[in-house]
Amino acid sequence: MTTVVNGTFTDTYAAVLQFYAKQVQLLDSGRFEEYAATFTADGEFQHTPGLPAARTTAGIIAELNSFNTRFDNDPVQRRHWFNMINLTERTDGAIDASFYALVLTTRPGVKEPLVGPSCFVNDVLVFEDGELRNRSRKVGHDQLF
Amino acid sequence: MTTVVNGTFTDTYAAVLQFYAKQVQLLDSGRFEEYAATFTADGEFQHTPGLPAARTTAGIIAELNSFNTRFDNDPVQRRHWFNMINLTERTDGAIDASFYALVLTTRPGVKEPLVGPSCFVNDVLVFEDGELRNRSRKVGHDQLF
Amino acid sequence: MTTVVNGTFTDTYAAVLQFYAKQVQLLDSGRFEEYAATFTADGEFQHTPGLPAARTTAGIIAELNSFNTRFDNDPVQRRHWFNMINLTERTDGAIDASFYALVLTTRPGVKEPLVGPSCFVNDVLVFEDGELRNRSRKVGHDQLF
């Protein structure tokens, strides 16, 4: 079901940077259906410590809608920054990606964003029909170490 | 007038990262003439919400000199961070780049920088004689959403 | 002694991003011996303004152990972020890398990390048996400009 693309490591690295850029821009503009579509159909998304992972496209959309009700009366522009992306290619073509993530939250009229949480993320990525997808994402929060 | 370089997407992605690194290091060290030279001769640079874009090399230098008078009696080290860079190649060889930007401002003797504004930037890049240049840059500020 | 790898600039750029990702993840998880092993045997590491550089693998490990005693009774999760990485390849195969670095420090139970210092780093990198290593690293702190 998963198409393995045998590019070079360099090609994979650039593809992952581009994939994450598009993915977070979808998330931060509230396009949750499109964000969920960057996961495989049976994808797993665990972003809140202590809570079970959301599973499947519908499950991820429901989780994001639910999570974001906290901003219903508190409009903010969030930005997810990913950095220091460490990739390991598995022999089956899947990619382990571990990286730092930081959330910046800007309120209307306030130039200085709220900074945090700082996170450590473990993704498993796969190529499907030549396109990268998250098979899973697990977000660890630094304040809970 | 514009030379199209038909590299791979991977080559383009690395070239853009390198281009931005050099460009912001020029900006943050006050080398405004060299920063302006990273734009095309008729380049457009809009960085302050509500104000018209600066145009042409001379116009961009003038705008940066004018903007930075605010630091004349308030020495700071500013750092522009770009991240989550999303590239789309046009059929004519130009590149649309949209990305997150964050300004960090450090004052002498103060270890913790001022963080912000958080921005969303839309660039149009072109290759001229094999070198990347900004044809335009438009900076949106997150606190004005 | 140093094996020069003649990849493309693009390959080098991706290799450096990957190298830095692994390197800082070692540093931030307190694996100082493995961090020191990312330097050449005679490598030089200068990270505290005004103090002499640590030299050799053993010297770098000693310096990191000494520096980190400050956290013995103050557990924190630090994260080093590198960005805006500007690479210049020397004719002998060494690579000059200059980039921005930011330290984020999270304390248990506190969602918002301490931000800073903001730094400017100059590295000299070499390939040894196909693997990148730091021949030197000099960290400048923005608050001391």
| Neighboring chain A residues of B98 at a CB cutoff of 8 Å | 25
The pLDDT tens digits for A60-108 are: 999 999 999 999 999 999 999 999 999 999 999 999 999 999 999 999 9
CB pairs under 8 A between A and C: 76
Q: Is there a contact between B143 and A83 if contact means CB atoms under 8 Å apart?
A: no
Cα angle A119-A123-A128, degrees, rounded to a multiple of 5: 150
pLDDT tens string, chain C, 145 residues long: the values are: 344 455 899 999 999 999 999 999 999 999 999 999 999 999 999 998 888 999 999 999 999 999 999 999 999 999 999 999 999 999 999 999 999 999 999 999 999 999 999 999 999 999 999 999 999 999 999 999 8
Quote ipTM for the complex. Answer: 0.95
Domain extent, residue C26, equals 3-144
Structure tokens at C53: 């550089």
- pLDDT (0 to 100) of residue B138: 97
C-alpha–C-alpha distance, residues A82 and B100, integer Å: 11
Strand-pair partners of A79:
A104
Q: Is there a contact between C84 and B113 if contact means CB atoms under 8 Å apart?
A: no
**Encoded amino acid at A133, one letter:** R
Q: Which helix (H) or strand (E) holds B54?
A: strand B54-55
C-alpha–C-alpha distance, residues B115 and B74, integer Å: 17
Tell me how close the Cα of C44 comes to any Cα of chain B, in angstroms.
24
> What does pTM read for this prediction?
0.96
Tell me how close the Cα of C18 comes to any Cα of chain A, in angstroms.
6
A41 CB within 8 Å of a chain C CB: no
Do residues B84 and C121 make contact, with C-beta atoms less than 8 angstroms apart?
no
Torsions phi, psi for A60 (to 5 deg): -70, -40
B81: left (phi over 0), alpha (psi -120 to 50) or beta: beta
**Mean pLDDT computed over every residue of chain B:** 94
Give chain C's end-to-end CA distance (angstroms, integer).
37
Structure tokens at B69: 């008078």
| Neighboring chain B residues of A107 at a CB cutoff of 8 Å | 143
B25 CB within 8 Å of a chain C CB: yes
C-alpha–C-alpha distance, residues C50 and B82, integer Å: 30
- pLDDT (0 to 100) of residue C6: 54
C-alpha–C-alpha distance, residues A10 and B8, integer Å: 11
A113 CB within 8 Å of a chain C CB: no
Do residues A49 and A143 make contact, with C-beta atoms less than 8 angstroms apart?
no
Looking at the 3D structure of chain A, how many domains does it have? 1
- pLDDT (0 to 100) of residue B6: 54
Tell me how close the Cα of B100 comes to any Cα of chain C, in angstroms.
13
Nearest residue in chain B measured CA to CA from C84:
B21
Q: Quick one: A60 exposed, middle or buried, by C-beta within 10 A (0-12, 13-18, 19+)?
A: buried
Structure tokens at B58: 């001379």
| Neighboring chain A residues of B145 at a CB cutoff of 8 Å | 75, 77, 106, 108
> In this structure, how many other beta carbons lie within 10 angstroms of the beta carbon of residue B109?
8
C-alpha–C-alpha distance, residues A120 and A129, integer Å: 28
Indicate which CATH number applies to the domain containing B32.
3.10.450.50
A48 has pLDDT over 90: no
> In this structure, how many other beta carbons lie within 10 angstroms of the beta carbon of residue A101?
23
C-alpha–C-alpha distance, residues A29 and B86, integer Å: 14
C-alpha–C-alpha distance, residues A93 and A130, integer Å: 12
| Neighboring chain A residues of B8 at a CB cutoff of 8 Å | 11
The pLDDT tens digits for A20-35 are: 999 999 999 999 999 9
C-alpha–C-alpha distance, residues C77 and C80, integer Å: 10
A21 CB within 8 Å of a chain C CB: no
Average pLDDT over residues A133-145: 96
Of residues C49 and A16, the one with the higher pLDDT is: A16
Average pLDDT over residues A112-130: 97
C-alpha–C-alpha distance, residues A139 and A1, integer Å: 26
Do residues C136 and C42 make contact, with C-beta atoms less than 8 angstroms apart?
no
Of residues C52 and A1, the one with the higher pLDDT is: C52
Structure tokens at C40: 């050449």
- What SS3 class is residue C20? helix
C-alpha–C-alpha distance, residues C145 and B108, integer Å: 7
Structure tokens at C30: 């307190």
For chain B, which residues score pLDDT lower than 50? Answer: 1-4
C-alpha–C-alpha distance, residues B84 and A17, integer Å: 7
| Neighboring chain B residues of A27 at a CB cutoff of 8 Å | none
> Edge-to-edge, what's the strand order for the sheet holding B39-46?
B54-55, B39-46, B131-141, B114-128, B95-106, B77-89
A79 CB within 8 Å of a chain C CB: no
Instruction: Provide CB contacts within 8 A for A40, sequence distance 6+.
Output: A126, A128, A133, A134, A135
| Neighboring chain B residues of C83 at a CB cutoff of 8 Å | 81-83
Tell me how close the Cα of C78 comes to any Cα of chain A, in angstroms.
9
- pLDDT (0 to 100) of residue A50: 85
C15 CB within 8 Å of a chain A CB: yes
- A55 — pLDDT class (breaks 50, 70, 90): very high
**Encoded amino acid at C35, one letter:** Y
- pLDDT (0 to 100) of residue A6: 54
